[in-house]
Amino acid sequence: MSRVALVTGGTRGIGEAVSKALKAAGYKVAANYAGNDEAANAFKAANDIPVFKWDVGDNEACAAGIVAVESEVGPVDVLVNNAGISRDAMLQKMTYEQWTQVMRTNLDSMYNMTHPVIAGMRERGFGRIVSISSINGQQGMLGLSNYCSAKAGILGFTRAIALEGARKGITANAIAPGYVATDLLANVPEKVMEYIVGQIPVGRLGQADEVARCVVFLAADESAWITGSTLTINGGQLMD
C-alpha cells in the first residue's frame, strides 16, 4: 500500500512542486492550503490530488484537518511542513501583527501539524517529517527579523523531534532553500533581485522542482539513517 504524504501549503510554489513530485514517486498525497480556492481547485483538477483547506497557524483547525485527511486518504506517514508567509519590515517599523502572523504560520505550525500525527507514526514504527526552513534561517537578513526567527526555530524543532523519534522509525529533517523563483519573490524590486542573484555563485534563482527532489529523497524509506539534518540548497550562496 502506498504511503500517505501530507504537504502544507501544497497547492502553490514549492509546495505544489513537492505534492506533484511525491505523487510521481508513488505516494498518496494530500495538499493543504490556506485561502486561495481558485488556485487550489485548479491544482486539484490538474493533478488529481485532494486538497484540504485550513490555517496551519490555528491549532484546532490543524487537528480537525488532519482527521479529515486521515479519514479520506489514510494515516499520515510523511509530513511536509512547507507553508510559510513573509511580512517584511525593519524591526523599528514592524508591527506586532506582522511579527505574530509570521510566527503563527511559519513556526507555530510545526507544533500544530506535527503533534497530531507523531503518535500514529510512533505506533506504526515509521514516519518522515520534512520541514522547509530557509537560507534566512541560517543567516540574518535586513527587514526579516520575524521570518529569520521563525525559520531558525524550525531547525531547532527538527533536531529535537529527530531525537524523540529516532528509536521509533521516525526521521525529522529540514531543507533550507535559498532564493527560489516563487510568488514569495513576486514583489521584490528589480534592483534588489539583481543584487540577490548576484550573490548566488551559480548565477540564478532556484526552481521549485529542485527543492521537491530533496523532499522526495528525505521522505524515502531508504533515508532512514538521515535524521536531524539540514539539507542546504542555495546555489552556493551560503556554504555550511
Tell me the residue length of the chain: 240
Cell of 19: 505534492
195 included as an active-site residue: no
Q: Which residues contact 104 (CB under 8 A, 6 or more apart)?
A: 57
**Phi/psi at 51 (5° precision):** -120, 150
CA distance 143 to 227: 31
CA distance 239 to 93: 31
Q: Report which of 63, 64, 75 is spatially closest to residue 30, judged by C-alpha positions.
A: 75
What stretches of 133-183 adopt beta strand conformation (E)? Answer: 170-177
Task: Specify whether the CB–CB gap between 180 and 207 falls below 8 A.
Answer: yes
CA distance 7 to 82: 7
Residues 27, 147, 179, 195: which is the catalytic one? Answer: 147
Catalytic residues: 147
